[in-house]
Structure 1
Amino acid sequence: MALTAIRTGKLDRMAIGLSGLCLVHCLATSVAFALLASAGSVFGAEWIHEVGLVLAMAMGMIALGKGVADHGYALPSAVGGLGLGIMGGALTLPHDGSEAMATIVGVAILALGHRLNDIAAE
């Protein structure tokens, strides 16, 4: 299916779902680290964060970029870009809880950008 055939709102809802999965992952990893050090290391593998960020960036560029093209409002894209920037910056933080907190904040801001994009597309 061509990307032009997919409604912006559907892409945004899919991206919000991905943000929700990221949030669950961050919280579950924090709990796993606290309860089971060996299980926490599996959930906290670096490649999971890198792949998740790549997926979020790709989906953000597609959905938010398509939104700007469709409705002409740049604010949702700017808000989403801020969230992605915070998520990217979180990868540079130590695994002492600050990475998870920064990621959660970035995910929430990114989800807000997608929600604003969805509202603007209506």
Structure 2
Amino acid sequence: MPQLSARAGDAVAISLSGLCLAHCLALPLAAAALPVLGLWAEAEWVHWAFVAIAAPVSLWTLARPAHGGAVRPGLLALALAGLALLVAGAAGVPDHDAETPLTVAGGLTLALAHVINLASGGRQAA
């Protein structure tokens, strides 16, 4: 069962990254056509909500023995880098113009860590 739980955690984390990407890339286009969605697309709380959901799911999935093997520090570091980029984007660091690129980079980095973890199956890190 632990293998199923880790796989489920990876799947949830990848899905959350996909939602984050959809929010960053598709929602601004929809917001141009529907001004009401513009309020939600620009709402600061949405970015922090994604970080608040992504961080515990990712850390729970990657900071424990992967698929019956050992904790994989490289994947954990990759996920932490992705989360740091998401936080920087949500905080508007270094400026508001960098928000979308940082958030997209963070979501892709985090998703990559989970894709690698999911693809590794029962293999342990070398």
**Would the aligned equivalents of 1:67 and 1:121 in 2 still touch at CA under 8 Å?**
no
Shift, 1:63, TM fit = 0.7
Aligned residue-pair number: 119
Distance 1:56 1:19 in 2: 8
Post-superposition Cα deviations, 1:60-97, rounded to whole Å, max 9, x if no partner, equal 1111112458422221111111100111111222443x
Identity rate, percent: 30
Letter of the aligned partner of 1:48 in structure 2? V
Pick which of 6-15 and 78-87 moved more: 6-15
Which residue pairs with 2:113 in the alignment? 113
**Would the aligned equivalents of 2:6 and 2:66 in 1 still touch at CA under 8 Å?**
no
Find the partner of 1:15 among 2, 13, 28: 13
If the length of structure 1 is used for normalisation, what is the TM-score? 0.82
Find the partner of 1:42 among 15, 40, 43: 40
**Residue ranges of structure 1 left out of the alignment (5+ in a row):** none
Matched, 1:76 2:100: no
Letter of the aligned partner of 1:21 in structure 2? L
If the length of structure 2 is used for normalisation, what is the TM-score? 0.80
Distance 1:60 1:112 in 2: 11
Distance 1:39 1:76 in 2: 35
1:113/1:65 Cα in 2 relative to 1: closer, same or farther (>3 Å)? Answer: same
Aligned-pair RMSD on alpha carbons? 2.3
**Residue ranges of structure 2 left out of the alignment (5+ in a row):** none
Q: Which has the higher contact order (CA 8 A, sep 6+)?
A: 1
Distance 2:61 2:5 in 1: 9
Shift, 1:30, TM fit = 2.5
